Structure 1
Amino acid sequence: MNTTIGKRIRKYREEKGISQEELAEKLHISRSTYQRIENGETNSWVNHIENICTSLDVNMEDILKPEEGYVQVNNNTDSSNSSNDNASGIIQSQTINYNTPEKLIEQYEERIKELKDQLDYWKNKAEGGK
Structure 2
Amino acid sequence: MDQINIGKKIRIRREQLGYSLQDVANTLEVHRSTIMRWENGETNRIKLPTIEKLAQILQTSPGFLMGYEESTETTTSRNSSPDDACFLPVVKSLYADQRLFETQNIVNYELADAHFRYNHCFYWFVSGDAMAPSLEDSDRVLIKQQDHIKDGQLGVFLLDEKDYVIRKFYSKNAIELRACNPYYPAIKLSKEEQHRLKIIGVVLESKRQW
TM-score, normalised to structure 1, is: 0.52
1:93 is aligned with what amino acid?
N
Higher strand proportion (structure 1 or 2)? 2
Q: Deviations over 1:90-112 (max 9, x none)?
A: x24279xxxxxxxxxxxxxxxxx
CA distance in 2, matches of 1:44, 1:28: 18
1:11 aligns with 2:12: yes
1:93 aligns with 2:101: no
Residue 59 of structure 2 corresponds to which residue in structure 1?
Answer: 57
Residue 21 of structure 2 corresponds to which residue in structure 1?
Answer: 20
The answer to whether the 8 Å contact 1:2/1:40 transfers is yes
Deviation at 1:75, TM superposition (A): 4.3
**Structure 2 unmatched ranges of 5 or more:** 69-90, 96-100, 108-210
The answer to whether the 8 Å contact 1:49/1:60 transfers is yes
The answer to whether the 8 Å contact 2:3/2:45 transfers is no
SS in structure 1 of the partner of residue 41 of structure 2: coil
2:67 is aligned with what amino acid?
K
Could you list the runs of 4 or more consecutive aligned residues of structure 1 that deviate by over 4 angstroms after TM superposition?
none
Deviation at 1:33, TM superposition (A): 1.2
Distance change in 2, residues 1:44/1:30 (3 Å): farther
Residue 37 of structure 1 corresponds to which residue in structure 2?
Answer: 38
CA RMSD of aligned residues (A): 2.6
**Structure 1 unmatched ranges of 5 or more:** 67-73, 79-87, 96-130
Q: Say which structure, 1 or 2, has more relative contact order (CA 8 Å, 6+ apart).
A: 1
SS in structure 1 of the partner of residue 60 of structure 2: coil
Residue 170 of structure 2 corresponds to which residue in structure 1?
Answer: none
CA distance in 2, matches of 1:94, 1:45: 14
Deviation at 1:9, TM superposition (A): 0.7
Aligned residue-pair number:
79
2:50 is aligned with what amino acid?
H
1:36 is aligned with what amino acid?
R
Deviation at 1:26, TM superposition (A): 0.6
SS in structure 2 of the partner of residue 45 of structure 1: coil
Residue 106 of structure 1 corresponds to which residue in structure 2?
Answer: none
Deviation at 1:63, TM superposition (A): 0.9
1:48 to 38, 47, 50: 50
CA distance in 2, matches of 1:43, 1:22: 23
The answer to whether the 8 Å contact 2:51/2:62 transfers is yes
The answer to whether the 8 Å contact 2:13/2:58 transfers is yes
